[in-house]
Structure 1
Amino acid sequence: MEISEIIKYLSDSKEIIGLGLWAVTFVVYAENGLFFAFFLPGDYLLFLTGVFVGTGFLKYTIATVLLYLFVAAVLGSLTGFLFGRFFGSTLENRPDRWYFKKKHIESTHDFFEKYGNQALIISRFLPYIRTFAPILAGISKMNYPKYLFLNVSGATLWVGSLVGGGYFFGVQFPWIINYVHYVILFFLAITTFTVIKGYLNIKKS
Structure 2
Amino acid sequence: MIAVVTPALVALGPLALLLVMAIVFAETGLLVGFFLPGDSLLFIIGALVASHVVHLPLWTVAAGVVLAAAAGDQVGYLIGHRWGPRIFARPDSRLFRQEHVAVAEEFFLRHGPVAVIAARFVPVVRTFTPVVAGVAMMPRRRFTIYNVVGALAWGIGIVVAGFFFGGLAFVAHHIELIAIALALLSLVPAATTVVRARRHRTPAASCDGAQSGGVQVRDVSVSP
Common topology (TM > 0.5) = yes
One-letter identity of the residue aligned with 2:53: F
The structure with the larger Rg is 2
Shift of 1:85: 0.8
Shift of 1:33: 2.0
Structure-1 residue corresponding to 2:193 = 198
Contact 1:52 1:167 (8 Å CA) reproduced: yes
Structure-2 residue corresponding to 1:165 = 161
Find runs of 4+ consecutive structure 1 residues off by over 6 angstroms.
none
- The number of residue pairs the alignment matches comes to 196
Q: Where does the alignment leave 5 or more consecutive residues of structure 2 unmatched?
A: 201-224
Which 10-residue stretch deviates more, 10-19 or 184-193? 10-19
Q: Identify the match of residue 72 of structure 2 among 72, 76, 80.
A: 76
The CA RMSD over aligned residues, in Å, is 1.6
After superposition, the Cα gap between the structure-2 partners of 1:16 and 1:129, relative to the gap in structure 1 and judged at 3 Å, is: farther
Shift of 1:13: 3.0
Shift of 1:16: 4.4
TM-score by length of 1: 0.89
After superposition, the Cα gap between the structure-2 partners of 1:182 and 1:15, relative to the gap in structure 1 and judged at 3 Å, is: closer
Contact 1:33 1:78 (8 Å CA) reproduced: yes
Structure-2 residue corresponding to 1:5 = none
Superposition map of 1:48-197 within 5 A: 48-171=44-167, 173-197=168-192
Shift of 1:180: 1.8
TM-score by length of 2: 0.82
Deviation string, structure 1 residues 20-46 (Cα, Å, up to 9, x no partner): 211111111111221122211100000
One-letter identity of the residue aligned with 1:115: H
CA distance in 1, matches of 2:72, 2:41: 16
